[in-house]
Amino acid sequence: MPTRLVRWVVIAALVAPATLVAQQRPIRGTVTNADNGQPVPGAVITVRLGGRGVAQAGDDGRFTIVVDPVPVRLLARAVGYAPAEVSVAVADSTVTIRLKSDPLLLDAVVVTGQATGIERRLATTSTSLVTGDRVNAVSAASVDKALQGKVAGADIQTNSGAPGGGAQIQIRGINTILGASDPLIVVDGVIYSNATVASGLYTVTGSGSAAGTGPQQDDADNRLADLNPADIASVEVLKSAAASSIYGSKAANGVIIITTKRGLGGKPKATISQRLGFSSLLRGPGMRVFDTTSAFDLYNSPEDSAVIRSLEVNGRLPVYDHLQEAAGNKPLSYETSLDVSGGNDNTQYFVSGGWSHQGGIINNTDAGRQSVRMNLDQRLNEKLKLSLSNSFTRTTTNRGMSNNDNSGAGITYALAYIPSFVPLKPVNGEYPQPAFTYQNANPLQTIALASNAETVNRFTGGATLTYQALQSGKNDLRLVGAAGADLFNQKNTVYAPPNLYFEATQQYPGVSTLGNADSRYVNWNLNAIDVFTPSGPSMSFTTSAGLQYEDRQLAQARSTAIGLLEGQSNIDQGAVFGQPFELNTREKTFAMYAQEQLQAFDERLLAEVGLRAERSSVFGNTNQYFIYPKISAAYRFPNLFGDGSDFKLRGAYGETGNQPLFGQKFTTLVGGVNIGGNVGTQVGSVAGAPNIEPERVKEFETGFDASPFHGRATLEFTWYVRHTTNLLLARTPPSSSGYSELITNGGELRNSGIEMTLGVAAVQQRDFSWTIHSTFARTRSLVQQLPGTGFSPPTAGFGLAFGEFFVEQGRPIDQIIGQTSINPDGSFNVTYMGHASPNFKWAIGNDFTYKRFFLTSLWDWQSGGVAQNQTLTLYDCNLLAPDNGTPAGMARANNCFDGIATPYVQSTSFLKLREVSLGYTLSDNLAQKFFGSSQVRVEVTGRNLLIFTNYWGYDPESSNYGQQAVTRNVDLGPYPPSRTFMFTITAGF
Partner 1 sequence: MTPNVHRAMPALVVALALGAISLGACGGFDITNTNQPTQTDLENNPTRSKLSAAATGIFAGARSDIAGFIWQVGSMGREGINLAGNNQPDYQEPYFGPLSSTQFGGSQWAGRYANIRSINVYLDAAPKAPDLTAEELAASQGFGKTVEALAFLYVIETRAKLGAPVDVNRSVTASPPPFVSEDSVYGFIVGLLDEAQTSLQAAGGTSFPFPTPPGFSGFDQPSTFLLFNRALKAKAEVLRATAGCGQPCFAAALATLPSTFISMDASALATGPQFDFSTASGDVSNELADPLDGTTFFADTFVIVHAQHQASSALDARVLAKTARATRVPTWSIPAVPLPGTLKYTIYFSGGQPNPNAPVPIIRNEELILLRAEAELGTGDRGGALTDINFIRTNSGRLPAISSGTWNGMSDADRIGELLYERWYSLMWEQGTRWIDARRYNLLNTIELGVPDGQVPQQMPVPQDECSARNLPTTCSPLGT
Please, which of residues 292-321 interact with partner 1 by CB under 8 A? 298-301, 303-304, 307
Nearest distance in Å: CB 310, partner 1: 11
Helix (H, G, I), strand (E, B) or coil at 498: coil
Our CB check for partner 1 shows the closer of 305 and 839 to be 305
**Selected range binding partner 1 among 223-231, 370-378, 430-438, 773-781, rule: CB under 8 A:** 430-438
Nearest distance in Å: CB 208, partner 1: 12
| Of positions 459, 577, 768, 850, contacts partner 1 by CB under 8 A | 577
Our CB check for partner 1 shows the closer of 431 and 438 to be 438
Whole-number Å distance between alpha carbons of 775 and 290: 47
Residue 439 makes contact with partner 1 by CB under 8 A: yes
Nearest distance in Å: CB 353, partner 1: 39
**Selected range binding partner 1 among 227-235, 351-359, 392-400, 576-584, rule: CB under 8 A:** 576-584
Our CB check for partner 1 shows the closer of 94 and 507 to be 507
CB 733 within 8 A of CB 744: no
Nearest of 39, 420, 373 to residue 227 by alpha carbon: 373
Q: Find the binding residues for partner 1 in span 112-171 (CB under 8 A).
A: none
Residues 6+ apart with CB under 8 A from 329: 279, 280, 359, 360, 361, 362, 363
The neighbour count for residue 882, using CB atoms within 10 Å, is 15
**Selected range binding partner 1 among 190-198, 537-545, 747-755, 844-852, rule: CB under 8 A:** 537-545
Burial 11-35 (b: 16+ CB within 10 A, else e): eeeeeeeeeeeeeebebebbbbbee
Binding residues with partner 1: total (CB under 8 A): 113
Residue 436 makes contact with partner 1 by CB under 8 A: yes
Nearest of 368, 276, 285 to residue 977 by alpha carbon: 285
Q: Find the binding residues for partner 1 in span 913-972 (CB under 8 A).
A: none
Residue 779 makes contact with partner 1 by CB under 8 A: no
Our CB check for partner 1 shows the closer of 14 and 21 to be 14
Q: Find the binding residues for partner 1 in span 719-778 (CB under 8 A).
A: 732-740, 742, 744
Nearest of 42, 62, 63 to residue 53 by alpha carbon: 63
Residue 405 makes contact with partner 1 by CB under 8 A: yes
CB 230 within 8 A of CB 152: no
Phi and psi angles of residue 985, each rounded to the nearest 5 degrees, phi first: -120, 130
Nearest distance in Å: CB 680, partner 1: 3
The neighbour count for residue 443, using CB atoms within 10 Å, is 33
Residues 6+ apart with CB under 8 A from 875: 285, 416, 881, 953
Q: How many CA atoms lie within 13 A of 804 on its CB side?
A: 18
Our CB check for partner 1 shows the closer of 159 and 732 to be 732
Residue 14 makes contact with partner 1 by CB under 8 A: yes
- In total, the chain counts a number of residues equal to 989
| Of positions 168, 199, 437, 645, contacts partner 1 by CB under 8 A | 437
Our CB check for partner 1 shows the closer of 318 and 738 to be 738
Nearest distance in Å: CB 414, partner 1: 10
| Of positions 231, 377, 587, 814, contacts partner 1 by CB under 8 A | 587
Indicate the helix (H) or strand (E) that contains 5: helix 2-15
Q: Which residues pair with 627 in a beta bridge?
A: 613
Nearest distance in Å: CB 840, partner 1: 33
Residue 883 makes contact with partner 1 by CB under 8 A: no
**Selected range binding partner 1 among 181-189, 319-327, 505-513, 946-954, rule: CB under 8 A:** 505-513
Q: How many CA atoms lie within 13 A of 933 on its CB side?
A: 20
Residue 570 makes contact with partner 1 by CB under 8 A: no
CB 130 within 8 A of CB 370: no
**Selected range binding partner 1 among 280-288, 329-337, 358-366, 435-443, rule: CB under 8 A:** 435-443
Residue 518 makes contact with partner 1 by CB under 8 A: no
Distances (CA, A) of 608 to 114, 126, 541, 632: 14, 13, 10, 5
Our CB check for partner 1 shows the closer of 461 and 663 to be 663
Q: Find the binding residues for partner 1 in span 475-504 (CB under 8 A).
A: 475, 477
Residues 6+ apart with CB under 8 A from 689: 620, 660, 664, 665, 743, 744, 745
Nearest distance in Å: CB 671, partner 1: 5
Whole-number Å distance between alpha carbons of 285 and 296: 23
Nearest distance in Å: CB 586, partner 1: 5
Q: Which residues pair with 560 in a beta bridge?
A: 513, 578
Nearest of 385, 389, 374 to residue 484 by alpha carbon: 389
Nearest distance in Å: CB 896, partner 1: 8
| Of positions 653, 791, 854, 951, contacts partner 1 by CB under 8 A | 791
| Of positions 54, 319, 522, 592, contacts partner 1 by CB under 8 A | 592
Our CB check for partner 1 shows the closer of 129 and 801 to be 801
The neighbour count for residue 1, using CB atoms within 10 Å, is 6
Our CB check for partner 1 shows the closer of 305 and 702 to be 305
Phi and psi angles of residue 563, each rounded to the nearest 5 degrees, phi first: 70, 55
Our CB check for partner 1 shows the closer of 380 and 504 to be 504
Nearest distance in Å: CB 337, partner 1: 41
CB 132 within 8 A of CB 261: yes
Our CB check for partner 1 shows the closer of 33 and 305 to be 305
Whole-number Å distance between alpha carbons of 753 and 151: 14
**Selected range binding partner 1 among 465-473, 645-653, 755-763, 918-926, rule: CB under 8 A:** 465-473
CB 199 within 8 A of CB 492: yes
Residues 6+ apart with CB under 8 A from 643: 710
Our CB check for partner 1 shows the closer of 185 and 409 to be 409
Q: Find the binding residues for partner 1 in span 544-563 (CB under 8 A).
A: 545-547, 549
**Selected range binding partner 1 among 56-64, 572-580, 697-705, 940-948, rule: CB under 8 A:** 572-580
Q: Find the binding residues for partner 1 in span 18-57 (CB under 8 A).
A: none
Phi and psi angles of residue 331, each rounded to the nearest 5 degrees, phi first: -75, 150
Nearest distance in Å: CB 479, partner 1: 9
**Selected range binding partner 1 among 104-112, 610-618, 634-642, 856-864, rule: CB under 8 A:** 610-618
Whole-number Å distance between alpha carbons of 285 and 95: 66
Distances (CA, A) of 196 to 99, 180, 558, 686: 44, 11, 15, 22
Residues 6+ apart with CB under 8 A from 20: none
Nearest distance in Å: CB 531, partner 1: 8
Nearest distance in Å: CB 577, partner 1: 5
Nearest distance in Å: CB 894, partner 1: 10
Residue 286 makes contact with partner 1 by CB under 8 A: no
CB 686 within 8 A of CB 669: no
CB 814 within 8 A of CB 756: no
Whole-number Å distance between alpha carbons of 959 and 965: 11
Our CB check for partner 1 shows the closer of 417 and 854 to be 417
Residue 842 makes contact with partner 1 by CB under 8 A: no
Q: Find the binding residues for partner 1 in span 645-704 (CB under 8 A).
A: 662-663, 666-685, 687
Output the CA torsion 943→947→952→954 (10° steps): 10
Residue 584 makes contact with partner 1 by CB under 8 A: yes
Nearest distance in Å: CB 617, partner 1: 4
